[in-house]
Amino acid sequence: MTLIWILISSKTADNMECPGKHGQKYGTPCGHPLMPGKHGQKYGKDEKNMLVSMKAILDDANKNYYGVMAMNSINIEMARAGIMAAEEEHSPIIVQFGPGQMKNHAHAEEMLPVIRELASRVHVPVALNLDHGSDFYTITDCINRGFTNVMYDGSSLPYEENVKRTAIITALAHGMGCSVEGELGHVGQADHEDDSDTDLYTDPELALDFVEKTGIDALAVAIGTAHGAYPKGKIPKLDFERLHQLKETLNMPLVLHGGSGSGEENLKKAVAGGINKINVCTDAFEAGKTAMLKELEEKPGTDYMHLCMAAEAGIKQFVRDYMKVIGSSGRYIYGEAKQAGNE
């Protein structure tokens, strides 16, 4: 299949409307209020919120040596717990979901208005990321809808094919003001013990070639973590020397997938070694589940609404604690302002 690229002037693009799921129009220009501009400014004159480019968040984290939590948030309770925790911790946050989660539960057309509204209530930066995108049409649909970052996962492909496809996605996304995360090396599954397969780890010199050829804004690296839940009692052993080499070679935001179950000390060392974005899904789900089970144990007759409230409170506390561990808490405390004129 041959892809045909059509370049559209910014003036024309601003007047285009994005098609909805069944061809309907949202009535919002493709330069959504969600979408950051070329230099980080937000498009849109009528809607103001703190939904910004993930690149803007991670560039600051890279410059100032801290990590940012990227939590898979599949419903309003999770999204609200994460964003309000970020507000209380004066921390940036990345809200994300993957294609499977969008298909099964976190439908993009329903979740985006929620996240826009929540971002309008806070005073800290929030990014919206597509996690582990691989299908071209799913990724471009997310860009059109107003995701502020997309992650293209071509890590299972041959190297040259990964480069080619990642570069195409990056060119397309950047043209819409959307940043891009790529992956080199392969973060597998914890139950397959992929974390111990060093052949899957990211090679620093190859990573430099990959970044230069694709133009991505952040790179997910494989240094010993895995997706999902580890066997009980297992803490993964991370290759911190490799991480150091990657950071020295690339000097850009690096991403740790499979943050769940990695252990507090590993997380602190990973951030100190150059990780700026940490993906969290399994641990967040578990925090919600644990809170609901505790509520049921203490109040067997409780109803569904109060179970949802308990889950949200549990996830919110989990997020606040996590932000303290990875160093993002307190990054957006302005301090008391003093009047200096005739205001």
Element (H, E) at 151: strand 149-152
Cβ(129)–Cβ(95) under 8 Å?
yes
Helical spans, DSSP H, in the chain:
10-14, 54-64, 76-89, 99-104, 108-120, 136-145, 159-175, 204-214, 240-250, 264-272, 282-298, 304-326
Three-state SS at 140: helix
Q: Cα separation of 54 and 150, whole Å?
A: 9
Q: Cα separation of 149 and 127, whole Å?
A: 7
Which residue is catalytic, options 131, 153, 195, 239?
131
Q: CA quadruple 165, 169, 172, 174: dihedral positive or negative?
A: negative
Q: Which residues contact 341 (CB under 8 A, 6 or more apart)?
A: none
Give the residue among 134, 135, 79 at the shortest CA–CA distance from 107: 79
321 is catalytic: no
DSSP 1-54: ---------HHHHHT-EEE-TTS-EEEEESS-TTSB-TTSPBP-SS---SB--H
Question: 61-81 as b/e, with b when 16 or more CB fall inside 10 Å?
Answer: bbeeebbbbbbbbbbbbbbbb
Annotated catalytic residues are: 131
